[in-house]
Amino acid sequence: LWSSNDVTQLGSRPKTKLGVMKLLPFTAVDGLAFGATAEAVADFLGPPSSNKLSRKGERELSYANARYRFDGKGHLTEVTADTLAVQFGSVSVPFKLLAAYLKEQDLSTFEKVGFVVSPMYGLALDPAFPSWVTAFSTERLALWRAIGTQ
């Protein structure tokens, strides 16, 4: 079980330039809905520091502490952010406890090439790279399951 020493309640924010990723699994990250266009993301966040195609040919907008990825139709499908914690409703879990939290809360959590992937939360992280977390849309779950199987 997770005590108040392990997680913080809504409203408690770390005093750092990195924030807390607010996640509504498969729905939205920090107020941006999966399925939004690159233009809508730029309108919401301001101009990105970079707007380019990834190695996979998908649009990627880069900001100081986050990358926003779009599918071939131009819809937001992944957000990777450098964050101190992930907020699930009123509970905020620090990155250093996130992998254990996901494994305890989501029994379908699996590992692929070092990533801990939670199908229930639509979240992936590599514990070897502290503070980077990827939230993804429902459509991306199959891709996470397929990593390393080709």
Instruction: In whole angstroms, give the CA distance from residue 13 to residue 97.
Output: 16
pLDDT at 19: 85
Q: What is the pLDDT of residue 16?
A: 33
73-116: pLDDT as tens digits = 999 999 999 999 999 999 999 999 999 999 999 999 999 999 99
Q: What is the pLDDT of residue 18?
A: 63
pLDDT at 51: 96
Nearest to 69 by CA among 52, 49, 83, 86: 52
Low-confidence ranges of the chain (pLDDT < 50): 1-17
